[in-house]
Structure 1
Amino acid sequence: MVRNETTVPYPEASRALLRNSVLDAMRDLLLERDWSKVTLSDVSARAGVSRQTLYNEFGSRLGLGQAYALRLAEDFVDHVDAAMWRNVDDVRSALIEGLRAFFLDSASDPLIVSLRTGEVKPDLLRLITLDAAPIIDKARQRLSESFQKSWVRATEAEANTFSEALVRIAMSYIAMPPSSFRDVAAELSTVFSPFVDALIARRSLA
């Protein structure tokens, strides 16, 4: 598959590099200690930037956590998008592969591990429940674009409907993972793939 390359303006590229460097530093720290023990000073020192730079970019410790969660949402879309292109014309396999990869990554991510273990962390829980709108919106928008541009060729309305539901359900499994004996990716694929198959079938008859 050939993708169109676009030139990213320097300020935008520089900001993206800064954010990724900071979030990588935060991830490294979370591998060493619980979220409750990670401070902005710790992150700034590990990332090699000033604390004021963190405040300017993320606003607060909670803002930093939200940015990290947004990157996890981006990873979710990347997994599904890549799986779609590896399984052309097989939406069931694509969804199973993409969801399994995401659930596997999220289960081992240090922020999610910190959320699920130790003392209750209301701030992290709010990020993926009551305050999850920015995360859901970002993932829905990107996933919708992916489904419109992929071999599914969904309309904007169709892609938005599908993406909103899939993102919301996938997010719900982060805070409350299912029993280990269940294959959630296969279950969700069973629910969602008929919707996509119907879209493709209608389009082939048009």
Structure 2
Amino acid sequence: MSVAGRPRTGARIPYQEAARELLRNTVLDGMRELLTERDWSKVTLGDVATRAGVSRQTLYNEFGSRAGLSQAYALRLADDLVDHVREALDANVGDARAAIRVGMTGFFLSAAGDPLVRSLLSGEMKPDLLRLITLDAAPLLEHATTRLTTVFTHSWVDASVAEADVLAHALVRIALSYIPNPPVPQRDAAAEMAALLSPYVEAIVQVRGVRAPTGDVEH
């Protein structure tokens, strides 16, 4: 959202929805700041409320619990994945392998620098964070898959909803699996994902008759 109450498309959204989105972003931004200063195990809901400038009751009303807060933050990681892939598709029209490689490279770098991910991977074991991207990953998986499905259907890939859902679901599952086990320097995980998934995209494009990288798209 570029300004409060008005998404990037320029369409108005209801005031209450805009206010809630602003509240959530303010709280999650405050949480991120705290995580750059201390480990997640040392961050309390009271700390987050104080940093965000809201009451603890407001925090509880919106997120329900510490687990709800961390899940909301993790959904940002899911959005980050989708945004990296969307931007890479826009920058690599007709080149599926490059688009996936660039998108995943960007996501891996972003995730590696995220303070919640860094907290997960350092210090004492944090079962609550680990569950977010393993046993309790369904909300992240569904959220990112739904958004990414839309990306694949409304880009030069021009996939059907069913095709896009298969591709998005596979990409998101693989990407999430790398968060607790980051790519090692000896392997180019982004290139490997591109080699694995790009033939599926290329087959869709070939059927649709989309011409590569000139930027001209035939429907």
TM-score range, shorter chain: over 0.9
Q: Pairwise CA RMSD of aligned residues?
A: 1.3
Structure 2 unmatched ranges of 5 or more: 1-7, 211-218
TM-score using structure 1 length: 0.96
AA in 2 matched with 1:148: T
Pairwise CA distance, 1:186: 0.5
Q: Please give the per-residue CA displacement for 1:98-143, whole angstroms capped at 9, x wherever unaligned.
A: 1101000101101000000100000000010000000000000000
Q: Please give the per-residue CA displacement for 1:33-71, whole angstroms capped at 9, x wherever unaligned.
A: 000000000000000000000000000011000000001
The aligned length equals 204
Pairwise CA distance, 1:203: 1.5
- 1:169 maps to which of 158, 166, 174: 174
- Name the residue aligned to 1:68: 73
Higher helix share: 1
- Name the residue aligned to 1:22: 27
Say whether 1:158 aligns with 2:163.
Answer: yes
AA in 2 matched with 1:118: G
- Name the residue aligned to 1:179: 184
Say whether 1:33 aligns with 2:46.
Answer: no
Structure 1 runs (4+) greater than 3 angstroms displaced: none
Q: Please give the per-residue CA displacement for 1:186-205, whole angstroms capped at 9, x wherever unaligned.
A: 11000000000000101219
Q: Distance in 2 between matches of 1:181 and 1:53?
A: 46
- 2:131 maps to which of 105, 126, 130: 126
Say whether 1:148 aligns with 2:153.
Answer: yes
AA in 2 matched with 1:78: D
Name the % identity: 60
TM-score using structure 2 length: 0.91
Q: Distance in 2 between matches of 1:147 and 1:6?
A: 22
Q: Distance in 2 between matches of 1:23 and 1:64?
A: 8
- Name the residue aligned to 1:109: 114
- Name the residue aligned to 2:215: none
Say whether 1:81 aligns with 2:81.
Answer: no
